Amino acid sequence: MPPKKASPKRSLKPAPGMLSGGVALGRHILIENVQPSVDGGLFPVRIAAGRACTVQATALRDGHDPIRVELLWRSEAQKAWQAVSMHCINPGLDLWQAEFTPPKTGLHYYSVEAWSDAYLGWSKDFRKRVEAGVAELEGPLQEGVQLIAPVAAAAEGADKTALDAALAVLMRPAEPRDLLAAAEGAVEAMGRLQARVDAVRLDPPRALEAAGALAAKGAWYEFFVRSQGPLDRSRSGTFKDAEGRLDDIAAMGFDVIYLAPIHPIGKAHRKGPNNSLTAGPGDPGSPWAIGSEAGGHTAIEPALGTLEDFDRFVAAAAARGLAVALDFAIQCSPDHPWVKLHPDWFYHRPDGSIKYAENPPKKYQDVYVVNFDTADRENLWDALESVLRFWIARGVRIFRVDNPHTKPLEFWRWALARLKQDFPDLVFLAEAFTRPAMMRALGKVGFNQSYTYFTWRNSKAELTEYLNELCHSEMRHYYMPNFFANTPDILPTFLQKGGAPGFRLRLVLAATLSPVYGIYSGYELCEDAALPGREEYLDSEKYELRPRDWNAPGNIKGLISRLNQLRRSQPALGRLDNLHFTHTDNEQLIAYLKAGVDGGESLLVVVNLDRFQAQQGWVQVPLEAFGLPEQGSYRVEDLLDGSVYQWEGRGNFVKLDPALSAAHVFRVQRA
Ligand code: Z3D
């Protein structure tokens, strides 16, 4: 075998008509289908920092020479790649795998390189000859020596000693079996030290965004600061009042407290109760109608307190393990300072009047739309970015973005990339209830999380189909669902009749199906009064103060606390791709496995989707997921109420009465 020169470490230029970027093709080797990837590598994949990213690739070579495949990765700041050798996990499919763990938040890159291992090829060939009893070994031995000699000459230390020893054996007459032992003894060192023949590498590499922990997992609680005041509604609740609510919210086990907008509310076109177009003198208006003479997006509504009160609130929340999320709504009340300062930032109708906002069929007559295409675009975009920087400087790391799908994707890509460069732990939640492709696009351009259709998926078939898409399609690499069970805009029809049982079962689904979920306050009280025939709350808090007795009888705070506790103690509930549905013979019973991850145990969840009647049926237990043999009994313990059952084999009987409990969350143990 003539000594070969190492090929350059890049793929050949693709031929006309061939995809570039997604594959690497050299003279002999092809690398393709590198996973994870989003749109073939056009957008970064997203993972929480500190979590292992499993990389797979198809890598193959013509002929019989074996290849070596290596995963390369680095953070954006590092110049040098770190290499991890990939293992062939399926030779028939030429499938290779390895993993790496981005240790810190921020942008990372990864790629795959493959090359021919000429020496391994030779040693395999040599073994065949020896095993076949071929007498003439001189020629093959010379080839082996030719491969080792230059490598041994350049080697150092223990490698040199080992390679020299192998050479010595191969160059003198010896028993075939001793020759073979020497030849194979050099495989490992040769694999590391010889020149990489035929090397190809995926170029450009894939990008990966390592996000903060709260991007990947968290329980959210939403409230209006102004509703945290006295029950008699004699005045608006303030940040000081809201501070008094933090212990309760922390005790329920939430991670994030999301505040409806806290900025000054405009007076012009202010809305009254139940979305009426006129407000009475005492009506506080919609908090999304941002801006008054008291200021705009960087000011605090005077009725809530001051910036200092806000800072105290953030600190008090942090002291209880709660992160504060703010609402970012790019729209302005006619009273917003920008309307006078920058009239050209708004859309004007031909008659000169300014256009109010809409998200058909909804109309927001109390706010003006911002014109992202204004000639003064640069200043507008900068101003919007500085709003976020203003709150970031005050310790906020999470933003729920209002209607992002009515603003340019390019604005989000630009703003989020810039901000994350400086603050890689930022979390952006997209409140886009719109077409699926747009919701996905927002994830691709930088949003960490998104609201979802969960709110309207009620049946077993609907839930199964939707969750399989979220957890097992390419979406899992960039789209983290945030399962809000209700929002101030949505009191789902499903919750409107039937009381607490419906609230309990939707809560269990949200908290166990998605690593990120949330409720809007009032859920714990099972508030279910809607405008007739609508999914809008009756007397919505969006237009009124709504203080409540948070411990009113019939509340489901116990269940909320228990679920959030389990989400903290069970790593399986913090992952998306470990969800697997399992068969039940009753359409009203849904069952799923949350497979154990990070050393935690696997869980089996069974939920009764019927909020009116007890349901029973047979549930298939995926025994292998629990390490259980086909025969024999085992113990299942419901982590919600502590009840214990003896089960046997695959099919087991379950009965759930919604008046008593919505679900079982089982731990499964050998008897
Ligand atoms: C939603 C917002 C509220 C009220 C409207 C009001 C508007 C402006 C909407 C616009 C986007 C998002 C919010 N879905 O609550 O609408 O419902 O009646 O006109 O004040 O604010 O921001 O969740």
Q: Are 423 and 403 in contact (CB under 8 A)?
A: no
Alpha carbon 629 to its chain's center: 34
Which residues have C-beta atoms less than 6 Å from ligand 1? 271, 275, 286, 288-289, 329, 364, 366-367, 402-403, 431, 488-489, 542
- How high is the pLDDT of residue 3? 46
Q: How far apart are CA 523 and CA 226, in angstroms?
A: 17
- How high is the pLDDT of residue 651? 97
Q: Which of 269, 288, 333 to mutate to test the pocket of ligand 1 (most atoms within 8 A of CB)?
A: 288
> What stretch of H or E contains 505?
helix 500-513
Residue 366 is a catalytic residue = no
The protein residue with its alpha carbon nearest to ligand 1, atom 19, reads: 364
- How high is the pLDDT of residue 18? 55
The protein residue with its alpha carbon nearest to ligand 1, atom 2, reads: 288
Q: How far apart are CA 637 and CA 635, in angstroms?
A: 7
Residue 365: closest CA among 300, 286, 293, 303: 286
Direct distance between the N- and C-terminal alpha carbons of the chain, in angstroms, rounded to an integer:
62
The protein residue with its alpha carbon nearest to ligand 1, atom 3, reads: 288
Residue 402 is a catalytic residue = yes
CA of 309 to the centre of ligand 1 (A): 25
Q: How far apart are CA 262 and CA 306, in angstroms?
A: 10
- How high is the pLDDT of residue 22? 86
Q: How far, in Å, are 3, 99, 233, 244 from residue 237 at the CA level?
A: 80, 50, 8, 11
Residue 63: closest CA among 108, 89, 28, 25: 28
Give residues with Cβ within 8 angstroms of 318, minimum separation 6.
Answer: 324, 395
CA of 487 to the centre of ligand 1 (A): 11
At what angle are helices 500-513 and 557-569 packed, to 10 degrees?
10
At what angle are helices 436-444 and 409-422 packed, to 10 degrees?
30
Neighbours of 613 (CB within 10 A): 12
Q: How far apart are CA 4 and CA 14, in angstroms?
A: 23
Q: Of ligand 1's atoms, which has the minimum distance to the CA of residue 365?
A: 19
CA of 118 to the centre of ligand 1 (A): 66
- Across the chain, which distance is largest between two alpha carbons, in Å? 106
The answer, as to whether pTM is greater than 0.85, is yes
Q: Of ligand 1's atoms, which has the minimum distance to the CA of residue 363?
A: 19
CA of 364 to the centre of ligand 1 (A): 6
- How high is the pLDDT of residue 230? 97
Give 13-46 pLDDT, tens digit per residue: 555 555 556 899 999 999 999 999 999 999 999 9
Q: Which of 362, 399, 455, 487 to mutate to test the pocket of ligand 1 (most atoms within 8 A of CB)?
A: 362
Q: How far apart are CA 532 and CA 519, in angstroms?
A: 22
Give the CA-trace dihedral at 186, 192, 195, 200, to 10 degrees: 130
Q: Of ligand 1's atoms, which has the minimum distance to the CA of residue 289?
A: 20
Q: Of ligand 1's atoms, which has the minimum distance to the CA of residue 540?
A: 17
Q: Which of 267, 271, 286 to mutate to test the pocket of ligand 1 (most atoms within 8 A of CB)?
A: 286
β partners of residue 638: 666
Q: Of ligand 1's atoms, which has the minimum distance to the CA of residue 288?
A: 20
Q: How far apart are CA 249 and CA 665, in angstroms?
A: 23
Give 572-588 pLDDT, tens digit per residue: 999 999 999 999 999 99
Q: How far apart are CA 404 and CA 432, in angstroms?
A: 6
CA of 498 to the centre of ligand 1 (A): 28
The protein residue with its alpha carbon nearest to ligand 1, atom 15, reads: 489
CA of 500 to the centre of ligand 1 (A): 27
For the chain, list residues with pLDDT below 70.
1-21
Give residues with Cβ within 8 angstroms of 363, minimum separation 6.
Answer: 356, 357
Set 402, 524, 528, 544: catalytic member: 402
Q: How far apart are CA 391 and CA 326, in angstroms?
A: 8
Q: Of ligand 1's atoms, which has the minimum distance to the CA of residue 433?
A: 14
Burial profile 243-278: b = 16 or more Cβ within 10 angstroms, e = fewer: bebbeebbebbbbbbbbbbbbbbbebbbbbeebeee
The protein residue with its alpha carbon nearest to ligand 1, atom 1, reads: 489
Side-chain-side CA neighbours of 315 within 13 Å: the count stands at 8
Q: How far apart are CA 54 and CA 333, in angstroms?
A: 48
The protein residue with its alpha carbon nearest to ligand 1, atom 13, reads: 402
CA of 370 to the centre of ligand 1 (A): 15
CA of 458 to the centre of ligand 1 (A): 25
The protein residue with its alpha carbon nearest to ligand 1, atom 23, reads: 489
Q: Of ligand 1's atoms, which has the minimum distance to the CA of residue 333?
A: 20
CA of 267 to the centre of ligand 1 (A): 15
Q: How far, in Å, are 307, 351, 500, 570, 594 from residue 636 at the CA level?
A: 51, 70, 26, 16, 15
For the chain, what percent of residues have pLDDT higher than 90?
A: 94
CA of 533 to the centre of ligand 1 (A): 19
Set 70, 209, 431, 544: catalytic member: 431
Q: Which of 542, 543, 544 to mutate to test the pocket of ligand 1 (most atoms within 8 A of CB)?
A: 542
Give me the sheet containing 95-100, strands edge to edge: 24-25, 29-35, 53-61, 95-100, 87-90
- How high is the pLDDT of residue 16? 57
Give the CA-trace dihedral at 23, 26, 30, 34, to 10 degrees: -30
Q: Identify the three-state secondary structure at position 125.
A: helix
